[in-house]
Amino acid sequence: MKIVSGGQTGADMAALEFARHNGLDHGGWVPKGRTNEAGRIPEHFTGLAETDSEKVVERTRCNVASSDATLIFVDGSTSPGTQQTIAFAEEAGKPHLVVDVRDGTATCARKVREWLQSTPATVLNIAGPRASEAPQIGPQARAILDQNLDLLEA
């Protein structure tokens, strides 16, 4: 399984950190300039390709289009980018799962596990709100991904 993400703080970076830490193939599309709200995305995140635009909507579209399925973490915060990810997945007819981390790590991990087992994907886009919109989304997404490492390594 290859994990792709747009490199934004929060859920995106949690996904890339998870993949890198566990030796999983990872990459994705990031805005021109390789930036997120915290500054430049570190170079140790290999496999990232810059879009022709600094607009984040372009990298969102590219990540949905270049993946087999999209896993989206939410926490009840308002995130236009997350809503755009859902819209792009629906428009493209791509499988996607929206997981509300307020349901708890165990419940979310079980939902993700069931979805991964029933959704054929070799490239998984992982998305969600940025850290400024949802300060705890990164650690919460990481905990859920950690509980599904065996399926993501397969």
Tokens of 11: 């859920």
Quote the pLDDT of residue 154.
67
Convert the pLDDT of each residue in 38-93 to its tens digit. 999 999 998 999 999 999 999 999 999 999 999 999 999 888 999 999 999 999 99
Strands, E, within the chain: which ranges?
2-4, 25-30, 35-36, 39-40, 48-50, 69-74, 96-100, 123-127
Q: What is the rounded average pLDDT for all residues in the chain?
A: 96
Rounded to the nearest 10°, the torsion over CA 129, 131, 135, 136 is: 70
Reported pTM: 0.96
Return phi, psi of residue 26, to 5°.
-150, 160
Domains of the chain: 2-153 (3.40.50.450)
**Total length of the chain:** 154
pLDDT for 77 equals 87
